[in-house]
Structure formats: structure tokens, C-alpha cells
Amino acid sequence: MDVATLKEMLQKGESILLLDVREKEEVEAAGGMIEGAQNIPMGKIFIEASKGLLPKDKKIVTICKSGTRCEIVARELRQKGYDIEHLEGGIDEWNKSLSNPPSV
């Protein structure tokens, strides 16, 4: 999912679980997460899923720094029946969109 699509879904108030799979230290070093996101590092996400702690009835969007880890998590959990996508380009792309708004 690209940044524009995610922003549109959030603006419409769609029910989405934003799942930031970066390590806690990475999140802190980067200055935080997208508002409303939950942080479950990639190393723990599959354990959480196996315990049934992630919703299968809600759209999930995974986020990492650049899009690689969150794509792996999304691919693996999609195979387990989750409605899940990853944020293309990760938080880096999200932050670029904030500092470079589209020209009108």
C-alpha cells in the first residue's frame, strides 16, 4: 500500500490496525511512530499471531523503516489468513510525504 492510499483510508476513518514492526530503539531514534500505531517488533510479531493476539477481522498495515521487514511480515501473515498489507517505503516514505506535500 502506498502512503497516499493509507492517508486516504485514515482520513476516511476506516478501521485499520497500524502495526509498526521496528525495534523499540529504532522507533525512539526516529522520533516515534505514525499516530495510532502499535509497536510489535518483527521478532515478536509471529509469536503474537500464533497466540491469536492479532485480529483477523480487521485490516492490518505493517510499517518498518524502509518497507522491507514490513513486507516480509505482511506476506507471512497473509498466508495465515490475515487481511494485511505493508506500507511501501515504510516510515521513510511516510515522513517524506509530510515534508514534501504535493503541489496544487
Q: 83 CB contacts (<8 Å, ≥6 apart)? A: 56, 57, 58, 59, 60
Radius of gyration of the chain (CA): 13
- The single residue of 21, 37, 64, 87 carrying the catalytic annotation is 64
Q: Judge whether 70 counts as a catalytic residue.
A: no
Residue positions annotated with a catalytic role: 64
